[in-house]
Structure 1
Amino acid sequence: MKEQPLDLVNLVIPAKTDFVGIARLAVSGIANRMGFSYDDIEDLKLAVSEACTNAVDAQYTDGEGDIKVCCNIFSNRLEIEVMDQCLYDDDLENPAIKALREQDLGLYLIESLMDQVDVQEEGGVVVKLTKFIKENGVKEHAGSPASYPT
């Protein structure tokens, strides 16, 4: 059985560069509340911004349409899906997939910042970003100096 998220936050923004910052802020707030480190929050913001900007650039040259950002909150990770719903001619390659290939640096950046990245075509393009919460510091039960052999 597929694991269900603890919470789900959906955000729909206009496909315009002016609104990409809203997605960044929402993801930042969610990640902060989940206990991600400052560096991981910055990585999440940059990856989401890159995915949203790609959707704006590749799909919506006229500024029409929406981008959906779905944040699936799990106990150990945050899964973010950035989806456009642009319809394209089936005889032509999907422009967002083509743009991802052409902008290898952008996709490379996203992949280097996230733990997992998956790109799918589902009535548009879905970029799924996964970041796991990392344990910081020494665990509480790691053993105290009194437990060390002498």
Structure 2
Amino acid sequence: MSPDRVTLTVPARGEYAKTVRMTAAELASRIGMSYDDVDDVRMAAEEAFVFACSRAGSDGEVTFVMDVGDNGLTIAAGPLPERSELDVDEESGDRYAAFILEAVCDEFEIRSSGETCTLTLAKYLSVATEG
């Protein structure tokens, strides 16, 4: 079965962070993720939103594509403007977001393609093991 796709485009302003965060968390809960994994998805969505907004600017929009599959949730944010070499101060925020995303996601990647980039992350359903 192909994954269900939810596309959400929001203004790149802080008051929309909760919309993105809660949508991602609800989708994770819907497919049966554990409470801890839903919390990881919530945190990942928040960091992805902050990362995307820092690139889009306050007058921009950010599009999130969330693919809900049998084995987990994939979220892509973008396309986003690529950073110029002059944005050194902003890069420290990118490094912090990357640190958090690497900690709470099963997969995390920033793909650059010319003047744009796309942030992609995934969280998979945990398989319970008998102990």
* TM bin (shorter chain): 0.7 to 0.9
CA shift, 1:105, in A, is 2.4
Which of 117, 124, 129 is residue 125 of structure 1 equivalent to? 117
Which of 96, 103, 106 is residue 97 of structure 2 equivalent to? 106
Aligned to 2:42: 45
Q: How many residues align?
A: 129
More strand by share: 2
Contact 2:55–2:81 (CA<8 Å) still a contact in 1?
no
CA shift, 1:57, in A, is 2.5
- Relative to 1, partners in 2 of residues 1:126 and 1:135: Cα closer, same or farther, differing over 3 Å? same
Amino acid in the other structure paired with 1:29: E
Amino acid in the other structure paired with 1:69: F
Higher relative contact order (CA 8 A, sep 6+): 2
List aligned pairs for 1:61-100, cutoff 5 A: 63-86=58-81, 92-93=84-85, 99=90
SS at match of 1:136: coil
Contact 1:5–1:72 (CA<8 Å) still a contact in 2?
no
Aligned to 2:28: 31
CA shift, 1:84, in A, is 4.5
The root-mean-square deviation of aligned C-alpha atoms, in Å, is 2.6
CA shift, 1:116, in A, is 0.6
Runs of 5+ consecutive residues of structure 2 not aligned to the other structure: none
CA shift, 1:130, in A, is 0.7
Aligned to 2:10: 13
Aligned to 1:146: none
Deviations 1:32-69 (A, max 9, x none): 10000110011111111011112212330xx2111111
> Is residue 2:124 matched to residue 1:135?
no
Instruction: Give the structure-2-normalised TM-score.
Output: 0.84
Cα distance in 2 for residues equivalent to 1:82 and 1:124: 11
Aligned to 1:145: none
Runs of 5+ consecutive residues of structure 1 not aligned to the other structure: 139-150
Cα distance in 1 for residues equivalent to 2:2 and 2:63: 18
Larger Rg, first or second structure (1 or 2)? 1
Query: Percent identity, aligned pairs only?
Result: 21
- Relative to 1, partners in 2 of residues 1:94 and 1:134: Cα closer, same or farther, differing over 3 Å? farther
Contact 2:56–2:62 (CA<8 Å) still a contact in 1?
no
